[in-house]
């Protein structure tokens, strides 16, 4: 195959040796707390410019020694709750529809419980909040708390990565360590699967770990436990590519994980932590838990409770931009250029081209990159057609989303006559009512491409404009227990589309691991339900049956808290100039509900986001897509080769769909698939019809869809699991 995926040679994720053969021991503690011990280890062993590997238990003990200050946490929760109110799915999560596969969770009730609880440490408090938000299984709902940082990761020794492997892609998989999995087809060596972890049935243990992963589908969460080159390509982080059984931002619960095998043997896997060189340079790690708390949890502008200036502290702290800087460097590997490794093309065989899209995210890229992303996509497809290829596989494995206009534009590349339907609503609160009322004074141009001002909004048909503030806010009818806005499009395509940020016509079969999220799900939803493209899902829990093709968050808009506060500040400024924009009653409600700047919180809040708008399927404007179910047309389990050589997934998918080699038992014809849609033509939310390029109709599809490039008669999407961005 030409252009074999460069990623494989860039980093041997799954075959990696241990991070280091030596873990620095604990120092002899003379006095102080666990952070004193950790500081002594760092001072004794740190080498300038090099990361330091220490026992995970040592770091965990230090974090759990951080003081808990209830006055600060109480104030923190009061202010945090004002941002959480912008989350669109709070009531739906509390009582979800039957189509939702994850457990119900009461986020606001959970915040109330946490507020009434006394914790032993700041870390325990932060863990409780993190667990609560993670239980929403929504990659858009995320807050970076002071003691839980992506710069300090816990690792189970990567020498012993685990994988869920099928012998042929159809038989139910078993759990193996990586090196053992490479030998399961050997006729001379017999290897043993993993059956227990820390005394529990291995699948039960792993499902419990997976439950804390922020994807809405349980199969998508399961896939993220294991190594993934697609995750490396989408996140740019080798650490996260190991999988979340190996790598975790939170303590995995034990300093040694005991793995049991079917043959009766066991293996203990150490938990370790990398102390990055960037945060331990100079050996200035705080010498006790109180100092560490002051450095990482108390805002630098804050004063102590008795209004005295904060005492002088060592210079050590987590750099705010450490993770961003690291990721920016890594995302340019293994290739760099105008597409930033976000659009790659390959030829699988004489008939089939592959488009691999690990991300739609354009953050940190030049302003013209959306246009270049579109240009690269056009060239890849054009070249494939010129070379005589008739089929295309679009691989969005690991794609966590990004710029939504890229998804709409790419859909139009394949289906220029297909309408890029988008429909959204937001949860109405005192704060949103006030902002929308204030922003009603904006002109159409000022309010364009902004989900707040009604004059800038269009309905999903992209023709009908919202007529008034009351029309925008809706009738006040409840949806899953909460008042919501009326239905409106993601944005006005005609007003937004430009050369640098195009949506074609305005101004393929997807392959995946279920990790597709956010913009990725918007793209896949259009490709399947409008374009009729067939889908293949890989992996999932070790049981037969169907698997969803969009396992990540399916919300329409992730809103950063800094962006929310920018709108709050704009509304305040407008209200200051013209107080009559709000009635006295609304002004009082606004003052009580308006969030403050996160920099003014009593405890450090590194970043945060909510899912501000829900997305809806055409024909069903009452069920947010986050809670809908749509199965793939075909499901395959991972073989070892699929893990070790990602390009083999493309061949396996092509063999299943076009080569007649079949799919996992019971995985075809489920709700949301093309076969199901053909059998239930009057049911909304089903998959649309589309051209598969063959002379025969398959799965009830009609050969009536027009592709931008007529030579590409068949498309397939491969979906794996996506990281949330």
What does the pLDDT look like over 385-416, one tens digit per residue? Answer: 999 998 999 998 888 888 888 999 999 999 88
On the question of pLDDT at 525 being above 80, the answer is yes
Neighbours of 379 (CB within 10 A): 13
Mean pLDDT of 554-558: 91
pLDDT in tens, 238-272: 777 889 999 988 899 999 999 999 999 999 999 99
C-alpha distance across the termini of the chain, in Å: 32
CATH class held by domain 159-274: mainly beta
Distance CA 560, CA 621 (A): 25
Of residues 627, 599, 723, 569, the one with CA closest to residue 142: 723
Distance CA 134, CA 15 (A): 30
3-class SS at 325?
helix
Average model confidence (pLDDT) across the chain = 83
pLDDT at 18: 40
Distance CA 451, CA 567 (A): 11
pLDDT at 319: 39
Of residues 404, 355, 377, the one with CA closest to residue 718: 355
pLDDT at 358: 87
Distance CA 236, CA 642 (A): 20
- pTM of this prediction? 0.85
Tokens 């009766």 belong to residue: 264
Percentage of the chain beyond pLDDT 90 is 59
Which pLDDT band, with edges at 50, 70 and 90, does 20 fall under?
Answer: very low
Percentage of the chain beyond pLDDT 70 is 82
Which pLDDT band, with edges at 50, 70 and 90, does 518 fall under?
Answer: confident
On the question of pLDDT at 493 being above 60, the answer is yes
On the question of pLDDT at 169 being above 90, the answer is yes
Of residues 280, 163, 175, the one with CA closest to residue 224: 163
Which pLDDT band, with edges at 50, 70 and 90, does 440 fall under?
Answer: very high
> Which distant-in-sequence residues (6+ apart) come within 8 Å of 191 by Cβ?
176, 180, 181, 183, 184
Distance CA 125, CA 119 (A): 6
On the question of pLDDT at 692 being above 90, the answer is no
pLDDT at 497: 74
The 8-class DSSP code of residue 603 comes to: S
Which pLDDT band, with edges at 50, 70 and 90, does 49 fall under?
Answer: confident
Q: Which run of H or of E encompasses 510?
A: strand 509-514
pLDDT in tens, 331-343: 222 333 344 678 8
pLDDT in tens, 678-687: 888 876 544 4
On the question of pLDDT at 322 being above 50, the answer is no
Rg (CA), the chain: 26
pLDDT at 340: 66
């Amino acid at each position: 195959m030409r252009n074999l995926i460069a990623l494989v040679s860039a980093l041997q994720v799954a075959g990696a040796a241990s991070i280091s053969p030596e873990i620095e021991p604990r120092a002899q503690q003379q006095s102080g707390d666990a952070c004193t011990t950790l500081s002594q280890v760092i001072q004794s062993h740190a080498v300038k410019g090099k990361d330091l590997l220490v026992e995970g238990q040592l770091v965990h003990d230090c974090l759990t020694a951080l003081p808990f200050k209830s006055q600060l946490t109480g104030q923190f929760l009061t202010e945090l709750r004002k941002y959480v109110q912008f989350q669109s799915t709070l009531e739906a999560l509390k009582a979800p529809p039957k189509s939702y596969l994850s457990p119900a969770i009461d986020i606001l009730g959970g915040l109330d419980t946490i507020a009434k609880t006394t914790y032993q440490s700041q870390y325990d408090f932060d863990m409780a909040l993190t667990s609560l938000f993670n239980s929403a299984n929504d990659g858009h709902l995320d807050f970076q708390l002071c003691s839980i940082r992506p710069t300090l990761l816990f690792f189970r020794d990567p020498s012993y990565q685990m994988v869920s492997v099928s012998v042929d892609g159809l038989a139910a998989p078993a759990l193996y360590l990586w090196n053992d999995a490479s030998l399961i087809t050997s006729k001379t060596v017999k290897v043993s699967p993993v059956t227990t972890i820390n005394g529990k049935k291995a699948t039960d243990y792993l499902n419990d770990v997976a439950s804390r992963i922020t994807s809405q589908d349980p199969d998508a969460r399961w896939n993220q436990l294991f190594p993934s080159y697609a995750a490396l390509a989408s996140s740019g982080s080798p650490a996260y590519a190991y999988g979340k059984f190996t790598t975790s931002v939170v303590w995995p619960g034990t300093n040694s994980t005991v793995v049991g095998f079917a043959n009766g043997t066991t293996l203990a896997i150490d938990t370790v932590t990398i102390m990055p060189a960037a945060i331990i340079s100079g050996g200035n790690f705080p010498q006790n838990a109180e100092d560490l708390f002051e450095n990482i949890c108390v805002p630098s502008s804050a004063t102590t409770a008795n209004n005295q200036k904060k005492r002088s502290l060592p210079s050590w702290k987590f750099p705010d931009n450490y993770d961003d800087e690291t990721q920016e460097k890594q995302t340019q590997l293994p290739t760099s250029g105008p597409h930033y490794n976000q659009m790659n093309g390959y030829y699988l065989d004489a008939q089939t081209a592959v488009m691999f899209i690990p991300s739609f995210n354009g953050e940190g890229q030049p302003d013209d990159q959306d246009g270049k992303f579109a240009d690269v996509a056009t060239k890849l497809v054009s070249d494939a057609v010129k070379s005589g290829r008739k089929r295309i596989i679009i691989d969005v494995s690991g794609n966590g989303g990004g710029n939504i206009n890229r998804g709409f534009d790419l859909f139009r590349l394949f289906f220029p006559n297909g309408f890029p339907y988008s429909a959204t609503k937001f949860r109405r609160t005192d704060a949103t009512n006030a902002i929308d009322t204030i922003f009603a004074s904006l002109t159409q141009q000022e309010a364009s491409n902004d989900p707040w001002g009604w004059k800038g909004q269009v309905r999903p048909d992209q023709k009908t404009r919202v007529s008034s503030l009351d029309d925008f806010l809706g009738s006040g009818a409840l949806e899953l227990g909460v008042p919501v806005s009326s239905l409106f499009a993601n944005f006005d395509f005609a007003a937004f589309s430009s050369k640098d940020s195009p949506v074609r016509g305005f101004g393929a079969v997807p392959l995946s691991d279920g990790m597709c999220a956010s913009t990725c799900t918007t793209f896949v939803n259009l490709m399947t339900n409008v374009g009729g493209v067939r889908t293949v899902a890989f992996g999932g829990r070790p049981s037969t049956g169907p698997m969803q093709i969009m396992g990540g968050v399916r919300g329409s808009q992730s809103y950063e808290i800094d962006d929310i506060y920018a709108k709050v500040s704009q509304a305040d400024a407008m209200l200051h100039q013209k107080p009559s924009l709000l009635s006295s009653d609304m002004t009082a409600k606004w003052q009580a509900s308006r969030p403050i700047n996160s920099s003014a919180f009593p405890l450090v809040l590194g970043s945060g986001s909510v899912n501000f708008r829900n997305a809806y399927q055409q024909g069903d404007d009452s069920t947010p897509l986050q809670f809908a179910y749509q199965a793939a047309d075909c499901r395959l389990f991972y073989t070892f080769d699929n893990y070790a050589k990602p390009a083999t997934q493309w061949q396996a998918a092509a063999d299943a769909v076009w080569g007649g080699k079949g799919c996992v038992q019971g995985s075809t014809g489920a709700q949301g698939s093309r076969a199901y849609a053909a059998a239930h033509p009057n049911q909304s939310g089903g998959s649309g019809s589309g051209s598969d390029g063959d002379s025969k109709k398959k799965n009830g599809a009609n050969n009536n869809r027009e592709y931008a490039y007529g030579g590409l008669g068949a498309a397939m999407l491969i979906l794996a699991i996506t990281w949330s961005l």
